[in-house]
Amino acid sequence: MLVLGIESTCDETACAIVKDGKTILSNIVSSQIDLHNEFGGVVPELACRRHVDVMIPVIDAAIKEANVSIEDIDLFAVAHGPGLIGALLIGLHAAKGLALALNKPFIGVNHVEAHLYAALMSNQEEVVFPCLGVVLSGGHTALVLMHSNDQCTLISQTVDDAIGEAFDKVAKLLGLPYPGGPEIEKLARQGNPLKYPFKSGNVKGRPLDFSFSGLKTSVLYSIQGQNCRDQPISLPYNDLCDVAASFQYVAVNDIIKKTIAAANQYHCNSIVFGGGVTNNQYLRDRFSEKAGHLKQFWPTLGLSLDNAAMIAGLGYHIYSRKQVGDMLDLEAMTRIPFASG
């Protein structure tokens, strides 16, 4: 079965063609980093306009690279949430239009669940369900119990900032470009992770939940003092590296500690990782060190950031289970809650 997937939830316009949920025939991503960099974050209105401009060329490129014809596509899958409303609408309408014109089924996919499926697509070995899913992206941080490729229940999540958002905000404080995650990782390689004793956030009565906004504020206070203003500060290079390393050390340890606790509590022997922050090599190395007893499924670097291959791949499984596509009145959803565990 050939599935064409479309992704436009935030600042990447992407289209991919995937065979039977796993074989990637093409995976085109048009990034908007250049557009948003000067504003230090994603500007929704600009993101939407860029999606409109590049959506059709990106779809054309995916079809060309896969060396198929649009008539060969059996199913159109699209990320219909969560994300920016205007951005979502562009991808959703493109998928609906294609499905309608070609008289083929279309299916809406949860972008966050697709991030987890990206790790399963990336590995030849099959995971044993139920397993623990760890979502570490710019918009979400959550632990979920995965019952199958496309069904999971929420165990815990962040009560404030997502982990990627925390990386981006700390990077902004340090005057680094957007997106800040990779910049922090780069600086941290040369820094002392024990220089600043930052504290990770805990949520009273909910030991598996995350909180990163306090960590960000403690970084701010320690570099600018209590009466600081929320704007970039210029530090000597060595200090920048130490702040980045200390922040990353605390954030990563917090995620590892809660992930291992959840794996024990829910009797999971395998962990599936998803989201852009899984690009972080320090995070991967620390997990192998501290959770070597658990089988780990990581996305390849090409599938960890936003992409449409994961949307097409998960779309295949949803459609195979339901045996029917979604109605054409499916709506874009800025938030899609996980089913509560």
Query: Can you give the binding site for ligand KG4, defined by CB under 6 A?
Result: 10, 115, 137-139, 164, 167-168, 179-182, 185, 275-277, 279-280, 305-306
Q: What values do phi and psi take at 70, rounded to 5?
A: -60, -30
CA dist 201 and 133 (Å) reads 21
Which single residue brings its beta carbon nearest to Zn ion? 306
**Per the structure block, which two tokens stand in for 208?**
């598996």
Task: State yes or no: residue 306 binds Zn ion (CB under 5 A).
Answer: yes
Among 13, 32, 137, 149, binds Zn ion (CB under 5 A): 137
Q: What 8-state DSSP symbol labels residue 148?
A: E
Indicate the residue among 132 and 277 with the shorter CB distance to ligand KG4: 277
280 binds, among Zn ion, ligand KG4, none (CB under 5 to 8 A by kind): ligand KG4
Indicate the residue among 26 and 280 with the shorter CB distance to ligand KG4: 280
Output the smallest distance, CB 301 to ligand KG4, in A: 9
**Closest to 185 (Cα-Cα) out of 115, 248, 271, 98:** 248
105 binds, among Zn ion, ligand KG4, none (CB under 5 to 8 A by kind): none
CA dist 151 and 57 (Å) reads 33
Stretch that binds Zn ion, among 83-91, 129-137, 254-262, 285-293 (CB under 5 A): 129-137
181 binds, among ligand KG4, Zn ion, none (CB under 5 to 8 A by kind): ligand KG4
- What is the number of H-type helices and E-type strands within the chain? 11, 11
Give me the 200-219 binding string for Zn ion, x by CB under 5 A, dash otherwise.
Answer: --------------------
* DSSP-derived 3-state class of residue 334: coil
Q: How buried is 39 (Cβ within 10 angstroms: 0-12 exposed, 13-18 middle, 19+ buried)?
A: exposed
Stretch that binds Zn ion, among 49-57, 122-130, 136-144, 240-248 (CB under 5 A): 136-144
Output the smallest distance, CB 162 to ligand KG4, in A: 7
Please compute Rg for the chain using Cα positions: 20
**Residue labelled with tokens 């499916």:** 330
Q: What values do phi and psi take at 162, rounded to 5?
A: -80, 160
CA dist 146 and 130 (Å) reads 5
Stretch that binds Zn ion, among 58-66, 183-191, 207-215, 304-312 (CB under 5 A): 304-312
Residues in 28-57 at the binding interface with Zn ion, rule: CB under 5 A: none
270 binds, among ligand KG4, Zn ion, none (CB under 5 to 8 A by kind): none
CA dist 291 and 256 (Å) reads 8
CA dist 89 and 157 (Å) reads 26
91 binds, among Zn ion, ligand KG4, none (CB under 5 to 8 A by kind): none
Output the smallest distance, CB 340 to ligand KG4, in A: 21
Stretch that binds Zn ion, among 32-40, 66-74, 121-129, 130-138 (CB under 5 A): 130-138
200 binds, among ligand KG4, Zn ion, none (CB under 5 to 8 A by kind): none
Output the smallest distance, CB 2 to ligand KG4, in A: 25
CA dist 37 and 47 (Å) reads 12
Output the smallest distance, CB 177 to ligand KG4, in A: 11
H or E segment to which residue 7 belongs: strand 2-7
> Sign of torsion, CA 307 12 306 83?
negative
Interface contacts to Zn ion, rule CB under 5 A: 137, 306
